[in-house]
Structure 1
Amino acid sequence: MSPYDPTWESLDSHPVPDWFHDAKLGIFVHWGVYSVPAWAPPDADIGGEDASPYAEWYPYYMYEEGSPTREYHRETYGEDVEYADFIEEFTAENWDPDAWADLFADVGAGYVVLTAEHHDGFPLWDTHYTRYNAAEMGPERDLVADLAAAIRERGLRFAPSYHANFNYYQPGFDGQFGHPDFEPAHPLEDGGGPGPEYVDFMNAKHRELVRKYDPDLLWFDVPTRHSDDVRAKELIADYYNRAAAQDRAVAVNDRASNDAIRAESERWDPSEYHGDFVTPEYHSYDEIHEEKWEACRGIGRSFGYNRVEGEAEQLSPGELIRSFVDIVSKNGNLLLNVGPRADGTIPEIQRSRLEALGDWLSINGEAIFGTRPWAVAEDGASDVPVRYTWRDGTCYAIALERPGDALSLSLLDHVDEPPATAALLTRDGDRECELTVTGNSLTVALSTEPDHEHAYAVRLSATKNPRT
């Protein structure tokens, strides 16, 4: 008998796997035909109803009268160039999946999520259901299979994400909207939706994707009002039961939940949702969030490659690292996106950020990987911003700014006994630090200067966690 039924009550009993709690860092890869025009207005308002700053939305906005993308398309390519005409330029001629996998593993990622099919209706795998796919056109290779093999060879988890549940474009059909059985409507607004023919087509591809590649995550991107329409509960139950039969620990995000709140003002309020983890986009939480969550964002403003984004539109290494520490302290993972060029190369401006994060983690990774939230995420009394993590009896205080000669902590507001020892994590190894207790204030004397940048972790041994 299968352990999961296609009801939210049954599906909600699924546990979040330990590996997902422990991983902390995933790499999202938005790569597809939209990587050819690779354009979105860099000054557009991100995070609002208008998604035009996202270059991966090019096939929607190139047909939207009055949009900056429409004007750019006319001026650059002319009136007669359709989105499908870009397929022949999506070549991946310089793509090396092993080099990608080495980079992501070196950074410290625990899993990789590749957009197997984005909203442009172009699968990156060898699918039986449409000739418009990467194995038959463009690169003429199964990009999902090749990357899955390289990623798993290095011991990382792999998931091909599936965004086709509300495609706004479908190759082979004219104009802005996709399959003729999908009633046209702006994807972020009410109205429109899939008919049974479209749902059958979409779900057939999704089930094929699951059966060919056995994803470690099921990463949906569904407008929640269509959850029942696309028979999401049936898909999730099938996925969970298949994994259970294979004795694999898997997870599903919340974006197939028809109860998740998506109003912009409360967009990531998870008070009612279904799935193993919540997926805020370009957003974080102010406090520890009890349910597991995953922040996803690009290094820049777009997820897909945007050729006009420069340094001003990218997270600096310090911003990236500090944001990552903050997310982890509050029970989150970071799914950090890269947007490769159409030829398969990762822009240096993105690569440099990944390498900076990897360098920081090579020193401070023990304060991140495998940790759980401590009593509180933030220290309210320290002279510099501090985030806490905890693992196996050890607490880590991570200063987000360079402390002076000492780091003052209010740790004793939450536990009765001071730590037994303290040590600053450095590139050359641990540096023991003297501890002084004055009332409820704990002072960590830093006898040596940190030898790296951006954030500074102090190990506090023999520290209880009131949450456990």
Structure 2
Amino acid sequence: MYYRNFFIAMFMLPTVVFGQEYEVCISEAQEPMMTGKYAPTWESLSQYEVPEWFRDAKFGIWAHWGPQCVEGSGDWMARSLYIEGSNEYKHHVANYGHPSEVGFKDILPLFKAEKWDPDRLVGLYKKIGARYFFALGNHHDNFDLWDSQYQEWNSKAIGPKRDLLAGWAEACRKHGLKFGVSLHADHAWSWYEPARRYDRNGAKAGVPYDGRLTAEDGKGKWWEGLDPQNLYAQNHPDSYGTWSDGMIHRQWGWGNGVAIPTVEYCTNFYNRTLDVINRYNPDLLYFDVTGVPFYPVSDAGLKIAAHFYNHNQATHSGDFSAVMFGKILTDQQKKALVWDVERGAPNDIPEKPWQTCSCIGGWHYNTDIYKNNWYKSASSVIKLLVDVVSKNGNLLLSIPLRADGTFDEKEEEIINGIGDWMAVNSECIYSTRPWHIFGEGPIAESDIAINAQGFNEGAYTAATSKDIRFTQTPKNLYVIALAWPDDNTVTVKSLSENSKFHKRRIKSVELIGYGKVKFSRTSDGLTVNLPADADRSVAPVLRIRK
């Protein structure tokens, strides 16, 4: 168990490591941190330079896929099934059983991945324009999707009986995509706390859910020999406000009364993460955290970062490719990591490359989103991509898979729509850099704030042809309208004849996929007439030679 040193860890004195006080210092006995150029301090990690491949790639696909897709009730279902009265709870009780008898551990064997074909999927993602791919290594549900050395609850032992990360990694190498792994299990500690609750109403009132079960309770059960506490991680005191369903968000940064994790727990996550780095050699790592995992209560996250960078440098023969993401970063932390904005974007051009992670639906597969046609359209995804790239960013797009490893026919239509636009217009995306300004129009001129780690992308869904975005290469300026204008006319104020951004004469304008088009340039702007016989692109791209 992870918790035998619990009381020692809770009451030990803080330890000073590299000049920083930590309440919880992990052990490197099983997985030594690789030493090298980078030490586990923000100062040392600030030597980091984002590799050019990432700046050029712009677009990645994420398979945010695991056992929480089994019930089809959406993201965080492994937590919400323990929240009495929630939709996920009701669905679980009606279809699988009461959480005092059938908990999330019992859903794991139902995750079979029986139709999963990573070679086909990664090949398709490359075809529609992705330059990197992310697999889910584990989620907050604490189930490892590989042949894990440090987590007995894993996909090789239970469910698919396969090493899923190995399959994804092999497919990425074959198709030439950079390979990323996202790891979220550090928050299982507090995320699973509802699993220790009980119903307060009805026939099962007061009967505990299965979150406090131990190995001794498994005699005669399918999970005999496994310890549920290695999955649920609930052998610790309650966090402050543990019965408040929304408290998890306030405590995400390991503050506001969340129970401090133990040495054993932090070390276990550290070991599992280094296991992934050492065995699968990913180019990218994603953590759903503020800064790095367990910071500032533990040194685990900074040691993971230092190991990742040093390991990548040692195994890539001088072709350093490592990219590690963090959320809600300080200015100093943005020098050490790549800033990730969840489902949103800043309304300016950050100096350093960044990424937004978004999804066409929910993070885990949700049948309600399918039935109600709530997916993002291909048009919405394309506009999001263009907006993000104009601001020095990349888009990591999740396309939810069903538990069997396939996407549905509505998702397929979206995938094909993205691919159709990219096949014609990708030159305004790949290897581009921001222009003097990212854009013009009603949205660009609005004050759109980021909410916590993001969550403002809804402000961009109403884009019209008056919303213009710019990207550039050394030879070309690209002007992208975020919709086809009803009157077939695009006016770009920032390219007026007295523009401070483009003082040279404009000799010609081309509509990508069509050819040269008519235009005029006055003090009001550059007015371009789009041909009536051209295909009405969801985001027409104009090329102007510099």
Cα-to-partner distance string for 1:228-270 (whole Å, 9 max, x where unaligned): 3252111111111111122332111124xxxx36xxxxxxxx6
Q: Alpha-carbon deviation of 1:291?
A: 2.5
Aligned equivalent of 2:186: 165
Question: CA RMSD, aligned part only?
Answer: 2.4
Q: In the alignment, residue 180 of structure 1 is paired with which amino acid?
A: N
Q: Partner of 2:107: helix, strand, or coil?
A: helix
In structure 2, the CA distance between the partners of 1:327 and 1:223, relative to structure 1 (3 Å rule), is closer
Match for residue 365 of structure 2 among 280, 302, 305 = 305
Aligned equivalent of 1:377: 438
Percent identity over paired residues: 32
Structure of greater Rg: 2
Report whether the alignment pairs 1:153 with 2:174: yes
In structure 2, the CA distance between the partners of 1:31 and 1:443, relative to structure 1 (3 Å rule), is same
Aligned equivalent of 1:387: 469
Q: In the alignment, residue 3 of structure 1 is paired with which amino acid?
A: K
Aligned equivalent of 2:294: 226
Within 5 A, what are the aligned runs for 1:9-88? Answer: 9-39=43-73, 55-79=74-98, 80-88=101-109
Q: Alpha-carbon deviation of 1:390?
A: 0.4
Aligned equivalent of 2:427: 366
Aligned equivalent of 2:265: 198
Unaligned runs of 5+ in 2: 1-34, 193-210, 212-225, 443-463
Q: Alpha-carbon deviation of 1:193?
A: 3.2
CA distance in 2, matches of 1:439, 1:285: 30
Q: Partner of 1:313: helix, strand, or coil?
A: coil
CA distance in 1, matches of 2:536, 2:233: 50
Aligned equivalent of 2:235: 180
Cα-to-partner distance string for 1:72-101 (whole Å, 9 max, x where unaligned): 322322212111111111111111111111
Q: Partner of 2:543: helix, strand, or coil?
A: strand
Cα-to-partner distance string for 1:1-30 (whole Å, 9 max, x where unaligned): 821111101112201111111111111111
Q: Partner of 1:349: helix, strand, or coil?
A: helix
Aligned equivalent of 1:326: 387
Within 5 A, what are the aligned runs for 1:277-292? Answer: 277-292=338-353
Match for residue 313 of structure 2 among 232, 236, 244 = 244
Please tell me whether the aligned partners of residues 158 and 215 of structure 1 are also in contact (alpha carbons under 8 angstroms). yes
Q: Partner of 1:222: helix, strand, or coil?
A: strand
Q: Partner of 1:279: helix, strand, or coil?
A: strand
Match for residue 254 of structure 1 among 318, 321, 326 = 326
Aligned equivalent of 1:142: 163
Match for residue 538 of structure 2 among 451, 454, 467 = 454
Moved more, 182-191 or 20-29: 182-191
Moved more, 146-155 or 279-288: 279-288
Report whether the alignment pairs 1:133 with 2:154: yes
Q: Partner of 1:296: helix, strand, or coil?
A: strand
Moved more, 226-235 or 360-369: 226-235
Q: Alpha-carbon deviation of 1:443?
A: 2.5
In structure 2, the CA distance between the partners of 1:460 and 1:20, relative to structure 1 (3 Å rule), is same
Please tell me whether the aligned partners of residues 116 and 160 of structure 1 are also in contact (alpha carbons under 8 angstroms). yes
Please tell me whether the aligned partners of residues 182 and 193 of structure 1 are also in contact (alpha carbons under 8 angstroms). no
Q: Alpha-carbon deviation of 1:222?
A: 2.6
Q: Alpha-carbon deviation of 1:174?
A: 5.9
CA distance in 2, matches of 1:380, 1:61: 41
CA distance in 1, matches of 2:56, 2:308: 22
Report whether the alignment pairs 1:113 with 2:134: yes
Cα-to-partner distance string for 1:327-380 (whole Å, 9 max, x where unaligned): 111111111111111111112222221211111000100011111111111134
